[in-house]
Structure 1
């Protein structure tokens, strides 16, 4: 095809008796016209390329009748096929030069816009679910239309036209607001949180597990599983205890619980062979020597040492100490009176009226308006309850007397039970001794608490109690406080009735009340408590010997200790006994230098320990720090469980409970919603396109 320039001429041909030839002026007059030199004819370029019609001049058939060319061109320009071809050619040129998008591009843009809109709608749905889940707000309601989820979603739609259009006109199977979709999205969000936790855990050498079981409001056994590991943050070592889910257990036997724990840990993506510690309470199914969870897991992972929860040990120490008859009687009396005031509107009103008239007691109570109940399982929390009862003692007595005058026989029994010197001295003494344990209780529940610090703090409390026992002035002050309370109600200090033949209770032949209660109550309660804490809280296993590697205690380390440490951690230490001994020698020399501040905790020691220079010591200290001191994180998760699965939401499934628990407990972890949408789209084919 050739466009002729000015002055280009072909030879003449005889047409209708006259010599004629092609004129180049026609090409300028009709830009779509093209001349073929070989054929000595013209064609319509757009029709040749875009018109599929056959036996048509200018398209499939060349035209060279120069006499009638003008007439043929006029007729061709009015042809509809030519017009269509011209439009197509112009579009083709515009697309080729980038002036216009192609059809494929236009279709692709439309699909892209649809996907973006679908992702936007799903994002708003996920945002509402995360808001409800993290803040522990019920998602569903009695009807789906009036559920919190739909109400909040419709509220957002009032200012969001795209969401409003979707909720109004989308097909029922394309709204993505059903309970099944909610559960699926909640599961994906919880999985993302767990993946982030597991990623941090994998960066550590080892990890430990903590587990405990409790019954939810639908009478199902829920097993709380937490993991503990060391992570580094800006060069510092940090201990993490993270909740990784609830597991519904059909059985609470040790075999079933051990299998559930191992399966859940492996499902989360952790290597069970890196397990180095496990912490549970002292129940037989958890701590049993042969068929308990700890024994069954150690059959699978022999290096997973068991630690009896130190908080539970402290609780057991108080339980056994409080078996003293006068203490047990006092506790029961306080509990009965507290229940009487807490669960009766009439009695509570009498207490409130008496409190309103007693400005001194109101100041002592610091804003409290009622008595505190004694927790059946948390004995260490009883300190607050006993303190509240002691401070409000006058108000309690006057309220009970008012109720007795109003024919409340039970109130009369209560007032006679507490208006005895034996009750008052026992109340004041127990409150004083138990107050020494408040700090230890709080410290044991901290996430960064390790075995070394737990025993160290327990030793501080024991030393304090022993010092108070030797200091007679301490009990003198306690006794005087009891005498002051009793004197307000004309009660004199006295001793119980004594009998030479008494065998069932303490029968000390002491006439002086102060001396009697010092021996019969104070010393007995204190000695028993000290012994119980020493035996239960401060006892540890072979791994605990590794604490002597802490620089502040390095002077106590001898060869026997080194042999014991190596024997205990031999399967983890990647060196011989001689190499480990040489490492210990270099460790001694390093911290034997003068004017060098020695760390006193495991974490501070790890911060200054080079893993390359002291691999064995670093590993031993890491394992010891990883071993949990308590299972308090599991107990905290049960508090969340009872808020999430209440009697109004008792039909919640185990998976939904676990997912909501993860989102609520780890609400500070940000969720990547785009990743959730991608995962949601990849699980199976959806009615709407999201990718």
Structure 2
């Protein structure tokens, strides 16, 4: 308190009339802070302090420096008789006690400013300790910032320094203690039980993370408000505790660096229990209000293709459009492409069987370290990968590993079938090596799917580029459609030629297997040559 008073003096608000009115309708006035001398000169009553809570005025120096009980309410319980305030102030400031206390106060303030008080040694030690803690907290803050930026876990199973499994945060503190004298002194105090509050615990870590997050979020919101208009992107996914979370991303134009650029900023996860369109809309609206962002300035919405998001009647985009008709809705282009390929593959039994074989090959090797070692001994290029369940374009990596290493993978499967002692695994590997991989239809399918998924993955990545424009995106999708059209005309014949070369290398018969003709009871009026009962060949 003394430090504040030395630097600034008593805090006062001169802009308004303070307090409550008395029975005469009077209240404390800021004019009381100024005294007018007989020669017309104005003098500031810097000793006068008004308490808004008590609605009373005090003499700050008399209340602070009094010796025993001093006469007058200004030095004790406060004065609130506004009708007689001016006369009481004049009487008080001319009193001997007030003049003595003011003189003492001026002398004390001068000695405090020059650091010449009787406890100056204690004050110096206090300042050293204060500076030490500033340096300690600064280093702790930078450790938290580093771990958060690199998405590294903070804590282990132990929360004490120089003990096993105490996590990355305390590990970095121990490393700094080897080189930095400030942290070394701090850690020595902890290990020697000289201090109890060391600011290395989980609660401090969480508090610093929250403070950093709040500062970053505040800076982002400041830029969004400067840009005024913004767009939102929402995505829902359950976390490890099965709590549904909705990520909120803001798009805005950033002009803070002098040049205009579109920025995408993640603002956090929102816990949602109601995943209907209305529930998600309420969560979005409440969050925008808490961030002090006006929903009327919303100019874009971007969601996936879920009915609760894009629904034209009860979806989030419809709820927003009812409030703001200028919030244009645009579905995620990459997600739409992904769903298209997914539905295309599901509609074809051959495609489902093909990807089932791809996954079975990966599972055979991945379920055992010994079998995975056999695979590594036979291949030298791209390793096998599991099929991703959502990003269909990324399945090209799983297909590519087998497409360019078919003979090597077949040889690895034969070695597993010969050496594995588990009958089910041995039988599975034998079946994959001699039946599925030796099937000419599989060879044709893997070439076709590799070329299709390569084109899809390329377009999918282009749609997710930061500088992607909508007209360029449309042209990219048109290019993909043109690719499919041309592939229907000439792609299959080229795939056949490529499959025959692989079959020759693997000593496989380059012909489609003849499938058993399904006999069906003829209905009345059907002849033997009726096209409805003629089965298609494998090539068709």
Displacement of 1:377 in angstroms is 0.9
Distance (whole Å) between structure 2 residues aligned to residue 226 and residue 198 of structure 1? 12
Query: Contact conserved, 1:227 with 1:243, CA < 8 A, in 2?
Result: yes
Distance (whole Å) between structure 2 residues aligned to residue 147 and residue 506 of structure 1? 69
Q: 1:183 aligns with which of 206, 219, 228?
A: 206
Structure 1 pair 502–282 and aligned structure 2 pair: CA distance change class (3 A): farther
Query: Contact conserved, 2:223 with 2:256, CA < 8 A, in 1?
Result: no
Larger mean Cα displacement after TM superposition, 153-162 or 277-286: 153-162
Superposition pairs of residues 289-328 of structure 1, within 5 angstroms: 289-322=312-345, 323-328=347-352
Partner in structure 1 of residue 144 of structure 2: 129
Query: Contact conserved, 1:240 with 1:448, CA < 8 A, in 2?
Result: no
Matched, 1:398 2:411: yes
Displacement of 1:251 in angstroms is 3.8
Superposition pairs of residues 194-343 of structure 1, within 5 angstroms: 194-232=217-255, 236-322=259-345, 323-343=347-367
Partner in structure 2 of residue 349 of structure 1: 373
Structure 1 pair 399–162 and aligned structure 2 pair: CA distance change class (3 A): closer
Distance (whole Å) between structure 2 residues aligned to residue 485 and residue 506 of structure 1? 35
Distance (whole Å) between structure 2 residues aligned to residue 174 and residue 104 of structure 1? 30
Partner in structure 1 of residue 116 of structure 2: 102
Partner in structure 2 of residue 489 of structure 1: 507
Partner in structure 1 of residue 168 of structure 2: 148
Structure 1 pair 424–507 and aligned structure 2 pair: CA distance change class (3 A): farther
Root mean square deviation, CA, Å: 3.1
Matched, 1:389 2:413: no
Displacement of 1:263 in angstroms is 2.5
Partner in structure 2 of residue 21 of structure 1: none
Structure 1 pair 401–178 and aligned structure 2 pair: CA distance change class (3 A): closer
Displacement of 1:502 in angstroms is 7.6
Displacement of 1:313 in angstroms is 0.5
Distance (whole Å) between structure 2 residues aligned to residue 469 and residue 314 of structure 1? 19
Unaligned ranges ≥5, structure 2: 1-106, 161-165, 522-530
Distance (whole Å) between structure 2 residues aligned to residue 347 and residue 272 of structure 1? 57
SS at match of 2:255: strand
Query: Contact conserved, 1:238 with 1:448, CA < 8 A, in 2?
Result: no
Larger mean Cα displacement after TM superposition, 303-312 or 158-167: 158-167
Displacement of 1:310 in angstroms is 0.9
Distance (whole Å) between structure 1 residues aligned to residue 471 and residue 534 of structure 2? 41
Q: What per-residue deviation string (whole Å, max 9, x for no partner) do you get for residues 245-290 of structure 1?
A: 1223334333332222232333333222211111111122222333
Structure 1 pair 177–235 and aligned structure 2 pair: CA distance change class (3 A): closer
Structure 1 pair 500–221 and aligned structure 2 pair: CA distance change class (3 A): closer
SS at match of 1:405: helix
SS at match of 1:319: helix
SS at match of 1:203: helix
Displacement of 1:462 in angstroms is 2.0
Displacement of 1:321 in angstroms is 1.5
Distance (whole Å) between structure 1 residues aligned to residue 260 and residue 271 of structure 2? 34
Partner in structure 2 of residue 413 of structure 1: 431
Superposition pairs of residues 412-561 of structure 1, within 5 angstroms: 412-415=430-433, 416-470=435-489, 472=490, 474-487=491-504, 488-494=506-512, 496-497=514-515, 499=517, 517=539, 520=540
Displacement of 1:508 in angstroms is 8.0
Displacement of 1:105 in angstroms is 10
Unaligned ranges ≥5, structure 1: 1-91, 356-361, 521-691
Q: What per-residue deviation string (whole Å, max 9, x for no partner) do you get for residues 89-126 of structure 1?
A: xxx9xx89x9x753289477665544333322211221
Structure 1 pair 175–234 and aligned structure 2 pair: CA distance change class (3 A): closer
Distance (whole Å) between structure 1 residues aligned to residue 311 and residue 388 of structure 2? 26
Query: Contact conserved, 2:308 with 2:316, CA < 8 A, in 1?
Result: yes
Query: Contact conserved, 2:440 with 2:508, CA < 8 A, in 1?
Result: no
Partner in structure 1 of residue 77 of structure 2: none
Structure 1 pair 510–105 and aligned structure 2 pair: CA distance change class (3 A): same
Query: Contact conserved, 1:498 with 1:507, CA < 8 A, in 2?
Result: no
Structure 1 pair 510–245 and aligned structure 2 pair: CA distance change class (3 A): closer
Distance (whole Å) between structure 1 residues aligned to residue 297 and residue 451 of structure 2? 45
Matched, 1:372 2:385: yes
Partner in structure 2 of residue 566 of structure 1: none
Q: 1:115 aligns with which of 116, 122, 130?
A: 130
TM-score of the pair, normalised by structure 1: 0.54
SS at match of 2:227: coil
Structure 1 pair 269–115 and aligned structure 2 pair: CA distance change class (3 A): farther
Distance (whole Å) between structure 2 residues aligned to residue 172 and residue 282 of structure 1? 56
Partner in structure 1 of residue 84 of structure 2: none
Distance (whole Å) between structure 2 residues aligned to residue 195 and residue 453 of structure 1? 34
SS at match of 2:136: helix
Distance (whole Å) between structure 2 residues aligned to residue 147 and residue 383 of structure 1? 38
Displacement of 1:142 in angstroms is 1.0
Distance (whole Å) between structure 2 residues aligned to residue 506 and residue 296 of structure 1? 50
Displacement of 1:458 in angstroms is 1.0
Larger mean Cα displacement after TM superposition, 388-397 or 249-258: 249-258
Q: What per-residue deviation string (whole Å, max 9, x for no partner) do you get for residues 12-41 of structure 1?
A: xxxxxxxxxxxxxxxxxxxxxxxxxxxxxx
SS at match of 1:141: coil
Distance (whole Å) between structure 2 residues aligned to residue 143 and residue 510 of structure 1? 67
Distance (whole Å) between structure 2 residues aligned to residue 371 and residue 508 of structure 1? 40
Displacement of 1:304 in angstroms is 1.9
Distance (whole Å) between structure 2 residues aligned to residue 277 and residue 508 of structure 1? 53
Q: What per-residue deviation string (whole Å, max 9, x for no partner) do you get for residues 532-562 of structure 1?
A: xxxxxxxxxxxxxxxxxxxxxxxxxxxxxxx
